[in-house]
Amino acid sequence: MKTKKSSDFHEWYPEVILSAKLADYAPVHGCIIFRERGYAIWERIQQSLDAKIRAMGVKNAYFPLFIPESLLKKEAEHFEGFVPEVAWVEKKEGDEERVALRPTSETVIYYMYSKWIRSHRDLPLKLNQWCNIVRWEIKQTRPFLRTREFLWQEGHTAHATQEEAEAQVKDALNAYVDLIEGELAIPVVAGRKTKVETFAGAVYTTAVESLMPDGRALQMGTSHYFGDHFPKMFGIKYMSEEDGVERFCHTTSWGVSTRLIGAVVMVHGDDKGLVLPPRIAPEQAVIIPIFKEETKAPVFKKCEEIRKKLEAAGVRAVADYDDAHTPGWKFAECELRGIPLRIEVGPKDIEKAQVTAVRRDTGGKSAIMESELAAKVQELLDAIQSNLFERAKKFLEENTVAVKTNAELKKALDGRKMAKAAHCGGEACEQKIKDETGGGTIRCIPFRQEKVSDKCAGCGSPAKYTVLIAKAY
């Protein structure tokens, strides 16, 4: 690593991604290649989240990349929210209508729901898709965080009642909290967005937010309640069971994207490179032989034995037998790549029937008796997972400060902190805060309310609730 995280975070971020081979820049502006290690992280996220999605009774489907202009424009506010970033396909001879590349799929999915839903028996209808999304970003793009194409999951559900739909909004958000805290080891704050920050077309938006090392917040996932707004627009009606009257459905949508990989890089990485939480690491342990020419054969043999034992115990273990590089070079390379655990095997280890384990997160070294290998390695991996979470939690707590006045708010944001502040709920005040702090936005109204003051930090009028304010990605 040429750049240290501690000295130049914004240079460090793309460097660590490229060096750790998570991604590379594509020959098209604003797009990246997900290289095998980066994509493997996404596959682990998919695996974990897909199980949670199925457990909610949601099924996977696939809707087209293409959305006709008329359909996308059907809901004006929704369309306006996306229009600068919508990419269109060049019309060819014979094409009836201009089509867009999906910036999100509400419109095409609701169009189909209006055909599929007839009776209460068709409800709830809960579908999810894993797909690519196109938003023709004009702002500066950054790998994983903002690219013209990204991968995501979008769930879309239709329900008979508001209660059911709102429960779904909550369940989806909770699944994201579990995923992000449990697998990615990133603590989040869950809350509701203000009207200004609500998704185009939604009644309300809930979100999970987390804090990056540069003091900026990153929106990690959102879950929206649409009420019967889209159903009225698209005619999604069902014949109710009790009274045989036609009623509009209540709908929700919710999603997380490959942006999560960017959060993992930012939150856990350090001056030496990437640090990956064991649960989503492509390789959890790397075995490195320490040998001279005369000890090569027995050391390699032992390494392979160790690797197989770990593999059999369900640990994703690899061994590095490349003999063009020194162990020291390999250590640095594994650190760069963020492999959670390094296992060194040399002649002395073999003599003592042990291996030497080195943690990526703390650098802590320990000897593990071969007889206890699988159990101890699993223990260490669990310890690394918890430590990463606790470390990030401590950072979040230490960098979230309660502020009571405009001056304190500005000072907090300038000092790369996230502010916890009372707010009046006014849109003009929200805009004023943004202008005066140079981009500070209300990230959310946390579900867990904690009283900071009776008066709005922005304008001094009576406070309605406590909000989190930060500059954001």
Residue type, 325: H
Pick the closer one to its own copies by CB: 95 or 414: 95
CB of 255 to its own copies, least distance (A): 17
Helix pair angle (36-55, 259-268), 10° resolution: 110
Which stretch in 81-89, 263-271, 406-414, 427-435 sits in contact with its own copies by CB under 8 A?
Answer: 81-89
Alpha carbon of residue 183 to chain centroid: 10
Q: Is 60 in the site for its own copies (CB under 8 A)?
A: yes
CB of 439 to its own copies, least distance (A): 23
Interaction mask 420-449, its own copies, x per CB under 8 A: ------------------------------
CB of 258 to its own copies, least distance (A): 9
Asked if residues 62 and 129 have their Cβ atoms less than 8 Å apart, the reply is: yes
CB of 31 to its own copies, least distance (A): 4
DSSP 18: H
Q: Is 68 in the site for its own copies (CB under 8 A)?
A: yes
Which stretch in 108-116, 215-223, 226-234, 285-293 sits in contact with its own copies by CB under 8 A?
Answer: 108-116
Q: If phi over 0 gives left and psi between -120 and 50 gives alpha, with beta otherwise, what is residue 378?
A: alpha
Q: Is 34 in the site for its own copies (CB under 8 A)?
A: yes
Q: Is 149 in the site for its own copies (CB under 8 A)?
A: yes
Q: Is 120 in the site for its own copies (CB under 8 A)?
A: no
Phi, psi of 334 (to 5 degrees): -70, -35
Phi, psi of 109 (to 5 degrees): -70, -40
Residue type, 251: T
Alpha carbon of residue 26 to chain centroid: 22
Which stretch in 39-47, 288-296, 429-437, 446-454 sits in contact with its own copies by CB under 8 A?
Answer: 39-47
CB of 383 to its own copies, least distance (A): 29
Helix pair angle (162-182, 36-55), 10° resolution: 140
Q: Is 35 in the site for its own copies (CB under 8 A)?
A: yes
Asked if residues 58 and 128 have their Cβ atoms less than 8 Å apart, the reply is: yes
The number of CA neighbours under 13 Å toward the Cβ of 261 is: 32
In 3-state terms, what secondary structure has residue 397? helix
Q: Is 112 in the site for its own copies (CB under 8 A)?
A: yes
Q: Is 329 in the site for its own copies (CB under 8 A)?
A: no
> How far are the Cα atoms of 119, 285, 288 from residue 312, in angstroms, in the given order?
51, 13, 18
Q: Is 28 in the site for its own copies (CB under 8 A)?
A: yes
Q: Is 300 in the site for its own copies (CB under 8 A)?
A: no
Q: Is 239 in the site for its own copies (CB under 8 A)?
A: no
Q: Is 136 in the site for its own copies (CB under 8 A)?
A: yes
CB of 149 to its own copies, least distance (A): 5
Pick the closer one to its own copies by CB: 39 or 291: 39
Q: Is 323 in the site for its own copies (CB under 8 A)?
A: no
Sign, Cα dihedral of 96, 102, 107, 109: positive
CB of 265 to its own copies, least distance (A): 17
Q: Is 121 in the site for its own copies (CB under 8 A)?
A: yes
Give the C-alpha separation, 40 to 251, whole Å.
32
Phi, psi of 406 (to 5 degrees): -55, -45
Asked if residues 387 and 364 have their Cβ atoms less than 8 Å apart, the reply is: no
Which stretch in 84-92, 224-232, 393-401, 460-468 sits in contact with its own copies by CB under 8 A?
Answer: 84-92
Q: Which of 6, 47, 132, 449 binds its own copies (CB under 8 A)?
A: 132
Q: Is 22 in the site for its own copies (CB under 8 A)?
A: no
In 3-state terms, what secondary structure has residue 154? strand
Q: In this structure, are strands 23-25 and 32-34 parallel, antiparallel, or unpaired? A: antiparallel
Asked if residues 125 and 231 have their Cβ atoms less than 8 Å apart, the reply is: no
Q: Is 139 in the site for its own copies (CB under 8 A)?
A: no
Give the C-alpha separation, 213 to 262, whole Å.
12
CB of 96 to its own copies, least distance (A): 7
Pick the closer one to its own copies by CB: 90 or 294: 90
The residue to which tokens 């930012």 are assigned: 266
Binding site for its own copies (CB under 8 A): 24, 26-29, 31-36, 38-40, 42-43, 59-68, 71, 87-90, 92, 94-96, 99, 101, 108, 111-112, 115-116, 121, 127, 131-132, 134, 136, 138, 148-149, 151, 322, 324
